[in-house]
Amino acid sequence: MRISTLFYTLKQGIINIFRNKWFSLASIATISACLFLFGLFYTVLANFQSMLKSAEEGVAVTVFFEEGVAAERIQEIGEQIRARSEVSRADYISADQAWADWAPENVGEDYQDIFSENPFEGMDNYEIYMTDVALQQDLVTWLESIPEISEVRRSEVAANTLTGINAIVAYVSVGIIAILLAVSIFLINNTVIIGISVRKTEIEIMKYIGATDFFVRSPFVIEGILIGLIGSCIPLAAIYVLYIEVIDYVTIQFPALTGLMQFLPVENLFHTLVPVSLGLGAGIGFLGSFATVRKHLRV
């Protein structure tokens, strides 16, 4: 293809948008609305996932050892635990430290006067934090297979709840995104059909003069892609501004919440959201227009 033809096709695609401006605006608005919802949904989801991740990391599995296990062996088991992919951290708590942490609050500051010996003797343990709470059962099974380990304590309810929430969120997201995409493709479809009918004479002349299928169809596909791209830029800008405003508002108005909820920085969020939104916009535009010209533009 000649460069001049490429520019001509691109120009015609842009002209199509303006020639058919009300329908183009309607399409852009609808794609913007869909991708805005998608962006909002993604923003909430990403933050929710991040909070879940923090919560998952907060769920610990505690392992205790049989009496008389050598310190070297305990250390060796600790290394094996840390080497596992589902483990984010494994903290060794000696019996003395466990007593020193627990006693002041539960016995009193003078606990050393009351107890001359450490009642937690032999209760050296590891507190293990997970990267993915869904893999807790695998870890527990493995830990229980180690003969030197006497007991494995864990919160099954917390693990199951978090895993369940994760699954529900994933299914709902996929469902909503699929519906939004289908609606957008349908709308692009309609815009291109209207564009084709508006340019009926021009297309007829092109056919008679000897335009190839590609030449006739490509401005409509370009129109669809451009509508998709414009439609994805608007919600990106809106979400950027809105996200910063909402975080500022929550931080100022509800300072207590910020301790519970760690919002993702806007840069982290947009690192994924920008390419995904632009890709979705262009993809929706391409799919909608390409399918339409193939079906309705018999050259």
Report yes or no: 87 and 130 within 8 Å, Cβ to Cβ: yes
Cβ of 158: how many Cβ atoms within 10 Å? 16
As measured in angstroms, the least distance from the Cβ of 285 to another protein is 24
297: DSSP letter? -
Task: Give the dihedral of Cα atoms 14, 18, 19, 22; nearest 10 deg.
Answer: 130
Taking the complex as a whole, the smallest distance from the CB of residue 24 to another protein amounts, in Å, to 16
Q: Over the range 229-264, which residues count as b (16 or more CB within 10 Å of their CB) and which as e?
A: bbbbbbbbeebbeebeeebeeeeeeeeeeeeeeebb
Alpha-carbon dihedral sign for residues 170, 173, 175, 178: negative
Q: Which helix (H) or strand (E) holds 60?
A: strand 60-65
* Nearer to another protein among residue 2 and residue 71 (C-beta): 2
The continuous run of DSSP H or E covering 35 comes out as helix 21-58
Q: Compare residues 10 and 274 and give the one whose CB is closer to another protein.
A: 10
Nearer to another protein, 174 or 299 (CB): 299
State residue 21 phi and psi, 5-degree precision: -65, -35
Residue 3 or 83: the one with the smaller Cβ distance to another protein is 3
Q: How far is the CB of 190 from another protein (least distance, A)?
A: 22
Euclidean distance between CA atoms 79 and 95, whole angstroms:
19
Residue 6 or 167 with smaller CB distance to another protein: 6
Q: How far is the CB of 218 from another protein (least distance, A)?
A: 12
In angstroms, what is the minimal distance from the CB of 49 to another protein?
Answer: 50
CB of 299 to another protein, least distance (A): 8
Q: Between vectors from CA 268 to CA 264 and to CA 271, what angle results, nearest 5°?
A: 150
Q: Which residue has the tokens 């709902």?
A: 172
Q: Of 54 and 212, which CB lies nearer to another protein in the complex structure?
A: 212
CB of 205 to another protein, least distance (A): 6
Least distance CB 8 / another protein (angstroms): 5
- Which residue has tokens 């032999």? 122
Copy the structure tokens of residue 259: 């301790």
Nearer to another protein, 19 or 89 (CB): 19
What's at 163, amino acid-wise?
A: T
Instruction: Give the residues lining the site for another protein (CB under 8 A).
Output: 1-2, 4-5, 8, 19, 201-202, 204-213, 215, 299
Query: How many beta carbons lie within 10 A of that of residue 214, not counting itself?
Result: 12
105 versus 208: smaller Cβ distance to another protein:
208
